A and B are shown apart, each in its own frame.
Chain A
Amino acid sequence: MTRSTFTLSRRRLLAGAAGAALTTPMINRAWAADPVQINMLAWYGHAEPDIVAEFEAANNVKFVPKYYAGGDNMLGLIAQSPPGTYDLILSDAEFVQQLNMAGYIEEMDPSLYPFDDFWPEYQKFPGHWTDDQLWSVMVRFGLLGVSYNSDVMTREEAMSYNAFWNPKITGKLGHFDWHLPSLGQISLLNGNRDPSPFDISEDAWEAVMEKTLSLKPQVGGYFDYGGTFASLKNGEMLAMAGIGDWITGVLQKDGAPVASVIPEEGGIQWTESYSIGKGTTKHEIINKFINYMLSPEGQVKSIKMAAYPGLSPLKSGWKAIQEADPAEAKRSGLIEGDDQSPIKLLSEGRLFFRDIPRQQDLEDWNDFWSEYKTA
C-alpha cells in the first residue's frame, strides 16, 4: 500500500511541478482529489501512520492533520479557520465545553458508540454530556505526576511534588509549557483536593501563585512537546513538571533512564476525546473511525501510539492489551487490581481530572503563567 501511494504521489508531484511551471497557483486543487480527505485537528501523532494507516487503506480515506499543543491553542486554530474546516476534532476533555459553547462541534448520537464497554467511571465524563445530549466521546487518557531522571533521583524521592524543589535538580527542572498541568500539580501539593485542584478559592489561588514563584530558581526551561522529549533524553533536564508517562514512556522504550510516578498528593488525569466538527459532511466515515479507535484493535494502537502512549477507558481495551502485550499492560497498570491501575487510583481519590479553573478566569491563570516565565 505504501508503495502505491508513494509512486502515485511522485507522479502527482511531477504533475504539480509541471503545472507550477505555468505559474498557475490554483493547480494544486486538481491534485488533492481522489481518496476522501478527513481534516483532523489533534495533538501531535494522532494522524500518523501507526494509528491511521490501516484505516486509511481499508476505507480509501486520507487524514490531513493540523497539530496543536494545548487546548487554548486548539481553540485559537479553530477560530482562525472557516467553519467546516475540521471534520474531526480531538480535544482535551476540559475544552469540550468551550468547543460546545462556541458552537464548533455537533451533537453526537450515543447509540452509535459502545458506552456499555466503558469503565463506569468514564461513561459520563464531565463536560461531555449536557443532560442526555452527547458532545464528545473519550478515547484515551493518561496520568500526570512527577517525571524524573532515575539516575539522579529515586522513586521514593519523587513520591511528592516537593521533589521539584530538590537541590539535586536546581536549574534542571523543566516545565511543559502549559499552565494547567503545572499549576494543577502545585495546587495538589498545597492540599487543594476537595473538590478538585482546579476548583479553588481566591485565597488558595494566591497561595498557589506564591508557591509556584518559589519554584523559579529550580527551573531550567519551558518546553513544547518536542523540547520536553529532547531535554529529558539528553539529560539537559533532570525532572519535569506537568507531564507523565505520555513522555517518559516513549523515552523508556528508547532506553533513557527516566520514569514517572503518581506522588502521594495525587495525580492529574489528562483525557482526550473526539468531537465532530460543525459543518462537516462526512459523518458516516467519521463515526466509523471513532468506533474503530474504540475497538480493541484501535485501543491497542492508542495504548502503544508512537508519539505518546495513552491508557484505555474501555474494559475490552484492557483485555486486548493484556493479550497483545502483557508487559505493556503491566507497565501502564491496565490490569484490574494492579496498584498502578487508574481505576484503583480513582477509587482511592488520588486522581483528579484536569480541568479549567472553576473560580478564576482561564485568562488569570494564563496571565500568571506568563508572569512566572519572565519572573
Chain B
Amino acid sequence: MSKRFEAYPYVWRLPLLIWQGLFFVGPLILMVAMSFWLVRNYRMEPDFVLKNWDRMLGRDYFWNAYWVTLWRATLAGVLASLIAFPASYALAFRVSETTRRWAIFFLIVPFFTSYLVRVYAWQVLLAESGPINAVLGFGGLGPFTMLNSGFGAMVGYMTLVLPLVVILQTFSLAAIDRNLIEAAWNLGASPRETLFQVILPAARIGLILGATFAFILSFGDFVSPFYLGGSKPPTLSILIIDTTKSGQQWPRAAVVAIMMIATLFVAAFAAVGAAYGRRK
C-alpha cells in the first residue's frame, strides 16, 4: 500500500470515536465534574468543592446501600449461574439441535417484553393474596410474604438476567469438543470428575461472562429492588433517584454514580481476567 494519506480507514474508524466521544465520554466526564459542583436554591453552580464527596461517603446510609447492593448483585450472579447451569447443560448435551434452537429462540423472547410489565406481573403473582400463595394454600402452606423483601427483589433480578445467563452458558457448553468429553469417559472419569475437570474448565469463558452480566445488570437495576423489594433497604440506584429528587442534589447523585461505575469496572476487569487469563 502506498504511503500517501488514505481516507478509507478513517471513514470506518472515526464515526465511533466522534459519536461515543461526544455522547458517551462527554456525559460521563460532565458527571465527574458535576460531583464537585455546588447546589444553591435548587440550582447547580459550577465550582470545585469536595463537599459532596465528603457528605455522601461520610454517611452511613450510603455505605449501607453500597454493601446491600454489592451483596445482592453478587448473590444474583451466583444464583443465576447455579439455576441456569442444569438447564444450559441439558440444552447443550441432552436435547436435539432443533430443540436447542427453539429453546434459544424462546429465551430471546423475554427481551422483547417490557421488563416493567413483567415486574408488575410479579407484583400480582407474589402478593400475599396472589395466585402463588393461593396454590400453596391448597397444600396447606403459607401464606408467605414474598413482596417487599430481598426475596422479591431477587425474583426480579432473576427475571432480568436468567434468560441471558442460560443463553451464554448454553453457547459455551455446546461449543465444547465432544471428543474431549468422550475421552474423559474412556479414561474412566466419573461423571463428577468429567464435569469438574473437563466441562467446567472448557466452558469457563461463558460461565464467567454469564455470572458477570448477571452481576452488572442486578447491580444497576432499580426496578426490582423498588417495585418488588419495597425499597427495603434502598439500593444504590434507588439512592441515586432519591437524591436527584430531593432538592436537586445532582452532584451527590453523581458521587454515588461514580462509586458504582468504579465498582463495576473493578468487577468487569476481574471477570475478564478470570475468563481470559492464564489457561491450563
A–B direct contact (CB < 8 Å): yes
Which residue of B has the minimal Cβ distance to A70?
B245
Are the C-beta atoms of B41 and A363 separated by less than 8 Å?
A: no
Total residues of chain B contacting the partner, CB 8 A: 36
- Asked whether A370 is an interface residue with its Cβ less than 8 Å from the other chain, the reply is yes
Q: Tell whether A129 is near chain B: CB-to-CB under 8 Å.
A: no
C-beta contact mask, A347-375 vs B, less than 8 Å → 1, else 0? 00000000000000011001101110111
- Contact between chains at A72 and B245 (CB < 8 Å): yes
Alpha-carbon gap, A102 to B247, bound state (A):
12
Question: Hey, which chain A residues are within 8 Å of B123, CB to CB?
Answer: 230
Q: Which listed segment binds B: A33-41, A217-225, A300-308?
A: A217-225
Most buried by A among B229, B244, B248: B248
Which residues of the partner chain A approach B226 to less than 8 Å between Cβ atoms?
224, 227
- Interface bits B221-244 vs A (CB < 8 Å: 1, else 0): 000001101111110000100111
Residue in A closest to B55 when the chains form the complex, CB atoms: A367
Q: Closest approach, in angstroms, between the C-beta of B23 and any C-beta of chain A?
A: 14
Given contacts A79-B248, A220-B148, are A234 and B128 in contact (CB under 8 A)? yes
Q: Distance in Å from the Cβ of A173 to the closest Cβ of chain B?
A: 11
User: How far is A231 from B228 in the complex, measured between Cα atoms in Å?
Assistant: 11
Tell me the complex Cα distance, A236–B226, Å: 15
Give Cα A366 to B59, complex, Å: 13
Among B47-88, those with CB < 8 Å from A are 59-61, 64-65, 68
In the complex, whether B145 has a CB less than 8 A from a CB of chain A is yes
Provide the residues of chain A in CB contact with B244, threshold 8 Å: 76
A98 within 8 A of B: yes
Q: Mark B192-235, 1 if CB is under 8 A from A, else 0.
A: 00000000000000000000000000000000001101111110
Given A101-B41, A236-B148, A373-B233, decide whether A75 and B248 contact each other with a Cβ distance below 8 A.
Answer: yes
Number of interface residues of A (CB under 8 A): 34
Q: Which B residues touch A363, using CB under 8 A?
A: 246-247, 249
Chain A hits for B245, CB < 8 A: 69-70, 72-73, 76
- B260 smallest CB distance to A (angstroms): 16
Chain B minimum-CB-distance residue to A75: B42
Among B41, B124, B148, B242, point to the contact of A370 (Cβ < 8 A): B242
Chain B residue, CB-CB nearest to A361: B247
Q: Beta-carbon contacts of A239-279 to B below 8 Å, as 1s and 0s?
A: 00000000000000000000000000000000000000000
- A369: chain B residues at CB < 8 Å are 246
Question: Once bound together, how far apart are the Cα atoms of A70 and B130, in whole Å?
Answer: 30
Q: CA of A227 to CA of B147 in the docked complex: distance in angstroms? A: 11
A59–B231 Cα distance when bound, in Å, is 43
Report how far A95 CA is from B163 CA in the complex, Å: 46
B230's partner among A79, A220, A371 (CB-CB below 8 A) is A220
Contact partner of B60 (CB less than 8 A), chosen from A219, A221, A222, A371, is A371
Taking CB atoms and an 8 Å cut-off, the chain B residues in 123-145 that contact chain A are 123-124, 127-130, 145
Q: Which residue on chain B has the smallest CB distance to residue A234? A: B127
Query: Are B59 and A367 touching (Cβ within 8 A)?
Result: yes
Contact B232 A219 (CB under 8 A): yes
Q: Is B178 an interface residue (CB 8 A)?
A: no
Whether the Cβ atoms of A374 and B65 lie closer than 8 Å is yes
- Flag if A76 contacts B128 (CB, 8 Å): no
Instruction: Give the interface centre of B230, B232, B233 by most chain A CB atoms within 10 Å.
Output: B230
Alpha-carbon distance A177/B241, docked complex (angstroms)? 12
Chain B residues whose CB sits within 8 angstroms of the CB of A73 once the complex forms? 245-246
Q: Is A221 in contact with B232, judged by CB distance below 8 angstroms?
A: yes
Are A171 and B145 in contact, CB atoms less than 8 angstroms apart?
yes
Residues of chain A with a CB closer than 8 A to B101's CB:
none
Query: Top 3 nearest A-B pairs by Cβ distance?
Result: A221-B230, A221-B148, A374-B64
Please give the residue numbers on chain A whose beta carbons come within 8 Å of chain B beta carbons, in ascending order: 69-70, 72-73, 75-76, 79, 98, 101-102, 171, 177, 219-224, 227, 230-231, 234-236, 362-363, 366-367, 369-371, 373-375
